Amino acid sequence: MIDRRPRLHQIDAFRAVLQVRSVTEAARLLRVSQPAVSKSLRQLEEILGCALFERVGGRLLPTPEAAALMPAMEAVLASLSALTAAGRA
């Protein structure tokens, strides 16, 4: 069976695009290529079964589905931060 859970790099790409509203700028922020961010978003959309962004006036705006996912995404990232802090303690 194929594991179809989102990967951290996909969540990072999603969060970065949410912040800067641009795949190119998100790639710079994450220090990866623009195609890598685009691929991560595509894969995440496939896993979740919904579009996360729509292009409006040259910017990417989150869809209602993306907005609904943001609290869960932030909770995952907070849990990872807590795990890292616990590991360092």
pLDDT score for 52: 97
Which regions in the chain score pLDDT beneath 70? 1-2
pLDDT of the residue at 58: 83
| pLDDT value for 2 | 61
DSSP-based three-state secondary structure for 86: helix
Sign of the Cα torsion 57, 53, 83, 35 reads negative
Residue 38's pLDDT is 97
